Amino acid sequence: MYVCLCNGVTDKAIREAVDGGARSWREVRESTGCATQCGKCACVGKALTHEAVVTT
């Protein structure tokens, strides 16, 4: 599913960023572009990042 409509970032892209070494919401934001425009997706993006980090 799309998490960030502004930049077309999916939940899969967030998991892949974590698999690729991102370990914080800030790093996921930098590598995917999620929440770098309107910011409405920040809450969901952050939650998905934490979930992915915990389960990795």
Q: Which of 19, 37, 47, 56 binds ligand FES (CB under 6 A)?
A: 37
Closest CA to 9 of 46, 56, 55, 51: 46
Q: Quick check: 13 binds ligand FES (CB under 6 A)?
A: no
Rg (CA), the chain: 10
Say whether 23 sits in a helix, a strand or coil.
coil
Q: Quick check: 44 binds ligand FES (CB under 6 A)?
A: no
Q: Which of 13, 28, 35, 52 binds ligand FES (CB under 6 A)?
A: 35
In eight-state DSSP terms, residue 7 is: T
List interacting residues with ligand FES (CB under 6 A). 4-7, 34-41
